[in-house]
Amino acid sequence: MPIRGIRERVRAELIREIKDAARRQLAEHGPDGLSVRAVTREMGMASSAVYRYFPSRDALLTALIVDAYEGIGQAAQTADAEVPRADYLGRWLAVFRAVRAWALDHPHEYALIYGSPVPGYAAPADTAAPASTVALVLARIVADVVADPAMPTSLAEPAEGVSDALGHDMEVVKEYIPQVVTGADETFTHADASAVLHVIDAWTMLFGAVSFELFGHYKNVVTARGDYLDRLALRAAAPFGMTAPRVP
């Protein structure tokens, strides 16, 4: 192997080890207790060696945040891809369930991106794209539903209860989605603001329910939490014509 290739592999492995150590620190001490020096002590390295890759605590936090967003986003994308394309409700439910499963498997990383803000930390702009992945997976499913003439749905219904300010927000979203969801231009360009809000509603229901579960807000209230998330997913899917078959 060329020297350059060996160096790149060693560098990638060291970065992985640093981030693994940082995640252990995150689990034990929380985001507030994370520091580059603590990571170097655990790894038995000189601080200068780690600062070469992560020049500050914020740089290390950003790397962990991006990894977490990419992890939960990949879980949603994989779940969607494993269901037949025409099974829209199956895809929708799979995404909801995959996000919950990832959060339960990675509670500390989930808390890092959806818990309390880290004091003194401001996320850079490059965290925005990975943060939107799950919402865009849901938008992709909706775009496929609307493109299917057999589905009884339309996103061109009149707006109801949408303020001028909120309507403006949705116009911005309508312009953004086609830039990142292939084939969604016709779907969302002609969509009404209230219809676009249904996608935002679904995104909010999903992460609201998962956050309530992980942060203990369902204690002594809801024990069948997976079933409850399914119920919310079905409610969020209904405006798009995705309904579960009725049992005779």
Query: Is 157 a residue whose pLDDT tops 70?
Result: no
With contact defined as beta carbons under 8 Å apart, do 207 and 131 qualify? no
Q: 65-83, pLDDT tens digit by residue?
A: 999 999 999 999 999 999 9
Q: Whole-prediction pTM value?
A: 0.88
Q: What is the DSSP string of 47-87?
A: HHHHHTT--SHHHHHHHHHHHHHHHHHHHHHHHHHTS-TT-
Tell whether domain 67-240 is in CATH 1.10.2020.10.
no
| CA angle, residues 113, 118, 120, in degrees to nearest 5 | 140
88 token code pair: 């829209």
Nearest alpha carbon to residue 206 among 198, 59, 179: 198
CATH superfamily of 1-55: Homeodomain-like (1.10.10.60)
Nearest-Å Rg of the Cα atoms of the chain is: 21
d(CA 240, CA 143): 10
Q: Are 197 and 165 in contact (CB under 8 A)?
A: no
Helices then strands, counting H and E runs in the chain, come out as: 12, 0
Q: Return the residue matching tokens 């000189």.
A: 46
Question: Which pLDDT tens digit goes with each residue over 37-64?
Answer: 888 888 888 888 888 889 988 999 999 9
Percent of the chain predicted with pLDDT > 90:
46
39: closest CA among 11, 58, 19?
19
User: What is Dmax (Cα atoms) for the chain?
Assistant: 68
pLDDT band at residue 90, thresholds of 50, 70 and 90? very high
Neighbours of 173 (CB within 10 A): 18
Per-residue pLDDT band for 246 (boundaries 50, 70, 90) equals: very low
Residue pair 174/196 in contact (Cβ under 8 Å)? The answer is: yes
| 230: pLDDT strictly greater than 70 | yes
Domain ranges of the chain: 1-55, 67-240
pLDDT for 65 equals 96
Phi, psi of 10 (to 5 degrees): -65, -40
Give ∠ CA 118-77-233 in degrees, rounded to 5: 80
